[in-house]
A = this chain, B = another copy of it.
Amino acid sequence: MTLNYHKEIMTSHPWTFFKLLWNWRASVWKAVIVELICWLIVYGIISVIYRCALAEWQMEIFENIVRYCQKRLGYIPLDLLLGFYVSMNVDRWTYRYRRIGFIDNPCLMTAEYVRGHSDVGRMFRRTIIRYAVLGQIMVFRDISLRTRRRFPTLDSIVKAGFMTEVEKKEFESYKIKCKQWICFNWAYSLVYEARKKGLIKSDLYVHQVIDDLRTFRTDLQSCNNYDWTPIPLLYNHVVCLAVHFYFLVCLIARQFIVHEGAFNPTPIDIYFPVMPMLQLFFYMSWLKIAEVMMNPYGEDDDDWETNALIDRNIHMGMAIVDAGFDRPPELRKDIFWD
């Protein structure tokens, strides 16, 4: 479930953010704990070997290697690489979130223009919206792990009521790989049918309903297309490797030089690498931001709740086009009336 923390940061206080630190889900702690512990263990092993297992002359060599690495750590570009990379991922995340598909507009337009309190009118409105949501499910099944898990087969969709047996058969009769458009083709056809039946009073109204359904569909397709052609793998490789190689080198470079008589020893030996650990913590979690945002359809704590969205869409959709259809309160003068 997406973690919503906006309520808690309504007003900025010095302690605002600290309130957010105590939950484990979607937190920075959870994100880097594994890397942190692994790194500390390996660091510790190397440290113990250096302190206890090496002979004098081996220690000297080791210390020279430490110095060599430490001085050249800056060769690996981290800050700007991470900065621009995360920035790009935020842009892509935002673009996709804006197109995730809230069904309100198609519903409101359908309720506005497809008229009729009779069962036929109701059926038309309900089915148009159901097909739109069904289309969303079809897209989400391809890109979202959660929706795929919830609807592993067409039968599970039928069982959940989004599809009837008849529709399923019809759906399966198409001999083509990419079938997401079928539901929308059905929905569009129904709108045209409704015009022919006189439920829609004007060609212009048809256009308006179709237009909102089209926007809904195009948004979903954008999400799908983003999934079809991700950012070149190379970019991810570079950033991820840079961060990991940096801290790999750090395993050596950040060792305390404590050998007596060593040239330029660390001023104090506190055994535990506090500051390098902080560095690992912050850079690694900086990288994690990008990883979390790169594919928001997964099952990370902060990934989008596609299933909740589908439920919201079908419930709100039915409420708008059926329960809420053409029921404005009686017109009265308001209290500001002069």
For chain A residues 107-165, which have a beta carbon within 8 Å of chain B? 107-109, 111-113, 119-120, 123-124, 126-127, 130, 143, 145, 161, 164
Asked if B190 and A331 make an inter-chain contact with CB atoms under 8 angstroms apart, the answer reads: yes
Interface of A is mostly: helix
Closest Cβ of chain B to A217, distance in Å, is 8
Which of A69, A80, A186, A187 has its CB near the most chain B CB atoms (within 10 A)? A80
Which of these, B2, B17, B27, B275, contacts A72 with CB under 8 Å? Answer: B275
Asked if B238 and A286 make an inter-chain contact with CB atoms under 8 angstroms apart, the answer reads: yes
For chain A residues 267-300, which have a beta carbon within 8 Å of chain B? 267-268, 270, 275-276, 278-279, 282-283, 285-286, 288-289, 291-295, 297-300
For chain A residues 34-66, which have a beta carbon within 8 Å of chain B? 34-35, 38, 61, 64-65
Number of interface residues of A (CB under 8 A): 167
Asked if B270 and A234 make an inter-chain contact with CB atoms under 8 angstroms apart, the answer reads: no
Contacts of A205 in B (CB 8 A): 203, 206-207
A97 to B293 Cα, complex, angstroms = 20
Asked if B111 and A12 make an inter-chain contact with CB atoms under 8 angstroms apart, the answer reads: no
Encoded as 1 (CB less than 8 Å from any B CB) or 0, chain A from 212 to 243 comes to 00100110011001011111111111101110
Asked if B286 and A77 make an inter-chain contact with CB atoms under 8 angstroms apart, the answer reads: yes
Closest Cβ of chain B to A165, distance in Å, is 10
Q: Is A310 interfacial (CB-CB < 8 Å)?
A: no
Asked if B185 and A286 make an inter-chain contact with CB atoms under 8 angstroms apart, the answer reads: no
Which of A6, A16, A214, A288 has its CB near the most chain B CB atoms (within 10 A)? A6
Asked if A77 and B282 make an inter-chain contact with CB atoms under 8 angstroms apart, the answer reads: yes
Q: Is A260 interfacial (CB-CB < 8 Å)?
A: no
Asked if A240 and B276 make an inter-chain contact with CB atoms under 8 angstroms apart, the answer reads: no
Which of these, B65, B233, B270, B288, contacts A268 with CB under 8 Å? Answer: B65
Which of these, B275, B294, B331, contacts A124 with CB under 8 Å? Answer: B331
Asked if A84 and B81 make an inter-chain contact with CB atoms under 8 angstroms apart, the answer reads: no
Closest Cβ of chain B to A263, distance in Å, is 8
Which of these, B167, B245, B327, contacts A170 with CB under 8 Å? Answer: B327
Asked if B130 and A334 make an inter-chain contact with CB atoms under 8 angstroms apart, the answer reads: yes
Which of these, B9, B67, B94, contacts A267 with CB under 8 Å? Answer: B67
A233 to B303 Cα, complex, angstroms = 11
For chain A residues 309-331, which have a beta carbon within 8 Å of chain B? 312, 314-316, 318-320, 323-331
Asked if A90 and B90 make an inter-chain contact with CB atoms under 8 angstroms apart, the answer reads: no
Could you list 16 A-B pairs, sorted by A, with CB under 8 Å?
A2-B228, A6-B230, A10-B298, A77-B283, A81-B286, A97-B225, A108-B181, A123-B333, A126-B336, A166-B332, A170-B329, A174-B324, A201-B203, A203-B205, A237-B285, A249-B278
Instruction: Give the 3 A-B residue pairs with the shortest CB-CB distance, closest first.
Output: A10-B298, A64-B268, A72-B275
With A87-B87, A113-B192, A249-B275 already in contact, 20 other A-B pairs whose C-beta atoms are closer than 8 Å: A6-B143, A11-B145, A14-B38, A17-B236, A17-B237, A17-B291, A26-B233, A67-B267, A68-B275, A79-B80, A84-B86, A109-B214, A111-B185, A161-B336, A164-B329, A164-B335, A182-B324, A205-B206, A229-B304, A232-B293
